Chain A
Amino acid sequence: MKILLNNREEEFPQETISVSEMIRVKKFSFRMRIIKINNVLISKEKYDSTIIHNGDNVQMLYLMSGG
């Protein structure tokens, strides 16, 4: 499947993938992050149960301390 990840096209061999799996496969480091799929915020308790489908628009941002 193909998705948009931070406005870039990404291809995965799987037909669908959970948010947790995507983080693992992409080797995203363990940091505080916000993920939105098709403009809907996914809370971190739902990373295992939320499935990303072909064509989804996935946005991810990192939260760093400091202010």
Chain B
Amino acid sequence: MRFSEIKNHLGRFRVGIAGAGGLGSNCAVALARSGIGTLVIADHDIIEERNLNRQYFFSDQVGMMKTTALKENLNRINTDTSVLIHQKKLDKSNITEIFSGCDIIVEAFDSAEMKEMLIETVQTRMPGIPLVVASGLAGWGKNDTIRCRKIDDTLYICGDESSDVTDDLPPMAPRVGIVANMQANVVVEILMEKKK
């Protein structure tokens, strides 16, 4: 299939991204470049200097809301992708509303507790909507430990499932980028199989 046809197909879909940090910003860039029609992005944070080691922002954007800056960057990449942003902290009470109408959702938080909350909420209250989770991306190297597993038709997990972020094992651009792009790759794979 030609890329023009792929883009045309992917342009019909709406993808939710929960978090606009290392995973969310890089995943969104890959999805916008692939031609996804609409991205719905939720985050409540401001860009800090220390985020620039892995997140898809620029030094002159420090201090901006991540959602606003990411929308700006995505619009500079592909004007055909609509970007809807929500400056909100996601919780059990607003997830279903914010991501209603999405064909698939990407989990892009950093804390394990938030990951758990999102998985429980989407899997119990948005049945049938595929969720692509990231778990295990701290540090550097160890390419061969990073993988992607399909749990079932609605749950996919990318990462090494073992490395936790600590002071001595920070998240860094290469591994975070690999996992974020793996998540985008799963999204594209699922949507290419889907008719709309």
A positions within 8 Å CB-CB of B: 32, 34, 36, 39, 41, 43, 59, 61-67
Assess whether B111 is in contact with A65, with CB atoms less than 8 Å apart. Answer: yes
Residues of A within 8 A of B115 (CB): 32, 63
Contact A67-B120, Cβ < 8 Å, known A36-B151, A61-B151, A61-B157:
no
> Which residue from chain B places its CB closest to the CB of A38 in the assembled complex?
B152
Assembly CA distance A40 to B160 (angstroms): 23
Contact A67-B123, Cβ < 8 Å, known A32-B116, A36-B155, A61-B151:
no
Assess whether B155 is in contact with A65, with CB atoms less than 8 Å apart. Answer: no
Contact A63-B149, Cβ < 8 Å, known A41-B123, A41-B124:
no
> Which residue from chain A places its CB closest to the CB of B164 in the assembled complex?
A64
Residues of A within 8 A of B161 (CB): 61-62, 64
Contact A66-B152, Cβ < 8 Å, known A32-B115, A41-B120:
no
Min distance, Cβ B43 to any Cβ of chain A, angstroms: 11
- B83, CB-defined interface residue at 8 Å: no
Contact A63-B151, Cβ < 8 Å, known A34-B119, A41-B119, A41-B120:
no
How many positions in chain B have a CB within 8 Å of any CB in the partner chain?
A: 39
Residues of A within 8 A of B110 (CB): 65-67
Min distance, Cβ A37 to any Cβ of chain B, angstroms: 11
B positions within 8 Å CB-CB of A: 19, 21-24, 108-113, 115-116, 119-120, 123-124, 133-138, 149, 151-155, 157, 159-165, 171, 176
Cβ-Cβ contact count across A and B, 8 Å cutoff? 79
Assembly CA distance A66 to B138 (angstroms): 6
Contact A64-B112, Cβ < 8 Å, known A36-B152, A59-B151:
yes
Residue in A36, A63, A66 whose beta carbon sits within 8 Å of that of B116 in the complex: A63
Given contacts A36-B151, A62-B162, A67-B171, 8 further A-B contacts (CB under 8 A): A41-B123, A59-B151, A63-B119, A64-B135, A64-B161, A67-B110, A67-B134, A67-B176
Assess whether A67 is in contact with B137, with CB atoms less than 8 Å apart. Answer: yes
Min distance, Cβ B77 to any Cβ of chain A, angstroms: 21
